[in-house]
A and B are shown apart, each in its own frame.
Chain A
């Protein structure tokens, strides 16, 4: 359902990342189909899926995955530019201000703390106004206090934008903040 928050939990090797990869169109299923917004993801070629991602998806990774060659603002602008959206700069600046980094627009990732980097990643994820936000262990590399601040921000922004959130986590407390929990074991949904 649109605007819903779903947590995917499971032990290592249970297939969480594989599921996320399939949802994002980074991989194609050997059987079955993946549909997003009524579009069959798995029937598209690699570039077709990339175009869908650019249009519909946002990502937040455990290890932030900012491009080290680009500064904070450029990192946020990147998905807009890849999708050919105009006004990328203004949107990026506004989004960085939203995550509290209005003063650090031109800082490169290596000069940002872990929490700041993940906030840039949040700005990058939300700037494209995604229908679906995929978050892979977003607090995995952060200490508890920073992690909870980032998660609060994630849920706030998610609510503002009405984005559907799929969150992969080990953290049961975090999982319970989501409306629905899907448990995986050995590649199958167990409940």
Chain B
């Protein structure tokens, strides 16, 4: 019976909008769900390989021999890895590369793959590069213009390229990996001369074996870890990658819910229409003796079948849509993704049914209360008592969906509050402008006036439409224009001669030669600043208690820190508290610290800090707090000491300079003269970051398109809800002598205004959000993009175009004779 009813209602076109809304909501949620699931599975699949071992010990300094000895004593497999970034040189080209020096046996878990030449088929290998040879990845080979069998220069050593490295099991997304890979034997490292004071090198020890001895070793080693030493096992492998993917999934998942919320409005509207249209049918069935409960069960069944079918279709579409998302982000997901599990489909089904429960059930419940007497007295409609229930149940369902997607009650409710605030602001604005448009309309011609009068009369319902459309449009405008504007404004803000290269790792003996090289090339020698590595050990004489700190904070305290020293203040630093080093300070010793770090660590002017530098403690008071312009791309330091404090500590030097286009040869000559120097091309890194941002934005924009589609659907379902009324009124107007074109003009005026209002509202909010971000986040003046002002209303009009057509057709389809028949 329920199937029959469904078939009949479907044929009558009663349920199509409802079904479409459900499909859209489920598609939106599952497209994100499926994609996230694939990523999650890939991480799980690769987890055992991610470390290249069962246990990985990581440190920013060389390990003492005791630990490797213990690993070997316990009969575990052992390997050693050192990694750092350095310049590699070919004949004429140089390239910053991520160097990984490995001992034989690496990796202990998983396998590497190498190819004998570029673009040749690769195969797994059990070995590591032969002494005197390196393996490079495709990017490095191309950048250096070197083939397998040719030599490259790394530091002082000339090494032969033995193979193209196509896969490392333990490669993840840190900065080292952004640079192309160079893999070499750890035994060849001394010959390069790259391991020097101040070189940033990670020292890894790898161990693997049976789970029993591995666990015992883990327990043994945990208690012996010193500062800057960490242990990673399968449980905490790559927490940063996992965390950032989870964050991303959460964010995109929440944006997907915007479409769900808007679809909920469409579900609610179309169910109301269904209810209104079925009142008579139900009254007649009641009259024939059908019980209330049976009537309710019948329609509930009908909706449940519809819900399941629509959700399944939504899941299928979501599955297809996730390939689009995957294509957008393929560039930086460096692995073959497994096929998704069925779990997101179940979640999609749950979303579809939850929407029905929250937004279709309450109006449906009204049907069971239809009095049989309605067959005689048509004015006896359904009681409206379920209205408050509808709002309440809907809110609970949306709240639950948000909490579920956010993974935390607090975040979920915060987002719910955010959405509610957003809806309230948009609602008030839309309502006010509809009222205003209605008033403004009365001075214009009759068709316009009639259109505006309709807007005003249905101000409440029209507010919902404008709101839904404007929200979807805002999201799309934000991602299409505002974000790009912000990024380009920020780029433009950089002076044309802002430094774009960092020169790192300059040794004290090289300073004069490096500066001479600049002068020879006709480039003003840049300022060179010393960098001394130190560890933060005490604040106001109190030793730092790392145990009490959060994981992230603890890591940042435990790692070695770059301190600098200088007499004169850097011109682009501003002292905001205290004063710069006085002659007295220079004599007795003092620190100047950066504002943000001072706030995080609760440092104040007058506090004393103790740093452990090269094995001895250095203690001095803070005499100033500085504000830095991080955007300046210059060498900036969190902590600067007076020279007397650090001058005799081992230091390397850093400099930042501007290299104009076409002077790449100069960069090459620096690398050739001083092989140990690292030249970081900031513009290349910025470009890469820009590419990643672009791709993410595109993926998110794609998800927001679902929200826009849901907004249009709300519009359409609202149109359907008023269609009968529109048709009757159009027929009456024609009886009174209105021509078709006059009726069409009135309809157009109404939709034109709806679309324009939504578009203007969206453009205004995208601009306001852009302004707020530039003002409060980036701190630069916002330049209004007038294109947004044009694109918003145009997009709004495009979205209502279909509705205007459908509305007009419906209005003209009814013969004017209807006014006599229905009288």
Contact = CB atoms under 8 A, between A and B. Distances in A.
Contacts of A124: 736
Contact of A70 (B450, B739, B819): B450
Given A26-B815, A27-B815, A137-B823, A50 B450 contact: no
Interface centre among A20, A54, A136 (most CB of B within 10 A): A54
A61 B736 CA distance: 11
A17 interface: yes
Contact of B457 (A46, A47, A68, A83): A68
Contacts of A51: 737, 739
Interface stretch (B225-233, B394-402, B727-735): B727-735
A20 B821 CA distance: 11
Contact of B738 (A61, A82, A136): A82
B823 to A, nearest CB: 4
A59 B735 contact: yes
Contacts of A24: 735
Interface in A122-157: 124, 128, 136-137, 140
Interface stretch (A4-12, A73-81, A111-119): A73-81
A67 B820 contact: no
Contacts of B729: 67, 69
Contact of B736 (A52, A63, A78): A78
A33 interface: no
B179 to A, nearest CB: 67
A77 B741 CA distance: 19
Contacts of A68: 457
Contacts of B449: 74, 81
A26 B445 contact: no
Contacts of B446: 77-78, 81-82
B817 A50 contact: no
Contacts of B739: 47, 50-51, 82
Contacts of B821: 17
Nearest to A53: B737
A184 interface: no
B740 to A, nearest CB: 6
A120 to B, nearest CB: 13
Nearest to A137: B823
Interface centre among A26, A55, A59 (most CB of B within 10 A): A26
A67 B815 contact: no
Nearest to A64: B823
Contact of A78 (B454, B733, B815): B733
B738 A50 contact: yes
B6 to A, nearest CB: 34
Nearest to A58: B736
Interface in B706-739: 729, 732-739
Interface string B733-754: 1111111111000000000000
A61 B819 contact: yes
A139 B454 CA distance: 28
A140 B822 CA distance: 13
B816 interface: yes
Contacts of B742: 82
A20 B737 contact: no
B732 A70 contact: no
Contact of B737 (A21, A61, A65, A82): A82
Interface string A11-54: 00000010011001011000000000000000000110011111
Given A69-B450, A70-B450, A74-B449, A82 B736 contact: yes
B208 interface: no
B735 A69 contact: no
A91 interface: no
A26 B457 contact: no
A26 B732 contact: no
B823 A63 contact: yes
Contacts of B740: 46-47, 50
Nearest to A77: B446
Interface string A79-115: 1011100000000000000000000000000000000
B453 interface: yes
Contact of B823 (A46, A69, A78, A136): A136
B46 to A, nearest CB: 63
23 contacts: A20-B820, A21-B820, A26-B816, A26-B817, A46-B740, A47-B740, A47-B741, A51-B739, A53-B735, A54-B738, A55-B737, A61-B823, A67-B729, A67-B732, A69-B450, A69-B456, A78-B733, A82-B446, A82-B737, A83-B737, A128-B737, A136-B823, A137-B823
Interface of A: 17, 20-21, 24, 26-27, 46-47, 50-55, 57, 59, 61-63, 65, 67-70, 74, 77-79, 81-83, 124, 128, 136-137, 140
Closest 4 CB pairs of A and B: A54-B737, A81-B446, A69-B453, A69-B457
Given A26-B819, A78-B733, A81-B449, 17 more contacts: A26-B817, A27-B815, A47-B740, A50-B738, A54-B736, A54-B737, A54-B738, A59-B736, A65-B819, A68-B457, A69-B454, A69-B729, A70-B450, A74-B449, A74-B453, A78-B450, A78-B736
